[in-house]
């Protein structure tokens, strides 16, 4: 027996190790626990499997993006075109509304003053300095506009007088320009006077009423109209109202400061009077 163990000891040791290993593996399997070799392989291969999975997900995303890119781009272009069309429609609608308002205003003026012939125009630019107050309009001699024509707003208030008429444009001095001079009529008393521009008052957006008869009663708020005398300008255009009353430097005569009725700063649309009946 001793000789048997002596001669076969190594084989017996190997058999014992294998038996122990099989027993251990069986035990891990029965308990649901990975054996050491399986655990080592899992530890080593898990990062690799995770990397492969992430790479596959990234590749799938790139594929999906590439596959749908042309479709998304076409949809984007379609939406841009639709937005541009809607914006253009909105602009056209707004322009139509404004044009309708201008036509209504012009119709109202024509109904109020049937003896006047109007030409609608847009203010394209303004120029105000220490020496002049002018505006450029969108109508000119091609539309029958001429130097000396009066310009009014939608309510019939005097805005200015055409100074120069080009083919399709014109320049107008405003009612507060220092060079303005025209006959005036006080609505309440029917007194005749002269409207004049003044450099100092022009900076304040005002003009002067002078050459007043001594007996004329002046009150702040009195309405001042164009007289139409002399035939150069239409009569009964509203110029403004008396803001203050003063005595000149000589102390011999009075003058009044007039605030224009037309809002010169916010006007966009005006109406040029091309023809009118002359007051005798």
- Where in the sequence is the domain holding 152, given as residue range(s)? 117-275
178-232 pLDDT per residue, tens: 999 999 999 999 999 999 999 999 999 999 999 998 888 999 999 999 999 888 8
Q: In this predicted structure, what is the pLDDT of residue 85?
A: 80
- Residue 4 is assigned to a structural domain of this protein: no
Kindly state the helix (H) or strand (E) to which residue 172 belongs, with its residue range. Answer: strand 170-174
C-beta atoms surrounding 172 within 10 Å: 27
pLDDT at position 280 is 54
Q: How confident is the model at residue 5 (pLDDT cuts 50, 70, 90)?
A: very low
134-164, pLDDT tens digit by residue?
Answer: 999 999 999 999 999 999 998 899 999 999 9
Give me the torsion for CA of 92, 93, 99, 103, rounded to 10°.
140
For residue 9, the model assigns a pLDDT of: 52
At residue 264, the 3 state secondary structure works out as coil
Contact 158, 173 (CB under 8 A): no
Residue 28 lies in a domain: no
Q: Is the pLDDT of residue 34 over 60?
A: no
Banded pLDDT at 68 (limits 50, 70, 90): low
Query: Does residue 246 belong to any structural domain of this protein?
Result: yes
Question: For residues 180 and 194, is the Cβ–Cβ distance under 8 A?
Answer: no
Distance CA 47, CA 188 (A): 101
3-state class (DSSP) for residue 167? coil
DSSP 157: B
Tally of domains within the chain: 1
268 falls within a domain: yes
pLDDT digits (tens, 9 = 90+) for 70-124: 777 777 888 887 888 877 777 766 665 565 566 556 556 666 677 788 899 999 9
CA distances from 224 to 26, 51, 115, 137, 156 (A): 118, 91, 20, 25, 13
Report the chain's mean pLDDT, rounded to a whole number.
80
Residue whose entry in the numeric block shows the structure tokens 């209504």: 104
Residue 191 placed within a domain: yes
């Amino acid at each position: 027996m001793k000789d048997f163990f002596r001669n076969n000891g190594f084989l017996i040791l190997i058999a014992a190790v294998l038996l122990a290993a099989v027993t251990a593996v069986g035990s891990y399997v029965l308990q649901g626990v990975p054996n050491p070799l399986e655990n080592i392989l899992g530890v080593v291969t898990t990062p690799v499997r995770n990397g492969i999975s992430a790479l596959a997900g990234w590749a799938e995303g790139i594929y999906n993006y590439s596959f749908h890119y042309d479709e998304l781009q076409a949809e984007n272009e379609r939406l841009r075109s639709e937005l541009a069309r809607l914006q253009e429609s909105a602009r056209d609608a707004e322009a139509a509304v404004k044009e309708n308002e201008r036509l209504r205003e012009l119709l109202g003026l024509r109904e109020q003053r049937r003896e006047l012939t109007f030409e609608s125009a847009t203010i394209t630019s303004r120029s105000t300095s220490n020496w002049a107050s002018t505006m450029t309009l969108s109508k000119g001699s091609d539309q029958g506009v001429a130097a000396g024509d009066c310009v009014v707003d939608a309510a019939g208030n005097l805005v200015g007088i055409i100074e120069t008429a080009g083919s399709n444009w014109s320049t107008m001095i405003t009612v507060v320009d220092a060079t303005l001079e025209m006959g005036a009529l006080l609505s309440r008393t029917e007194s005749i006077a002269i409207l004049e521009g003044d450099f100092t008052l022009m900076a304040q957006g005002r003009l002067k009423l002078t050459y007043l008869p001594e007996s004329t009663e002046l009150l702040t708020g009195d309405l001042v109209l164009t007289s139409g005398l002399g035939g150069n300008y239409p009569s009964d255009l509203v110029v403004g109202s008396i803001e203050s009353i003063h005595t000149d430097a000589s102390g011999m005569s009075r003058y009044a400061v007039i605030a224009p009725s037309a809002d010169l700063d916010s006007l966009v649309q005006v109406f040029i009077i091309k023809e009118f009946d002359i007051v005798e």
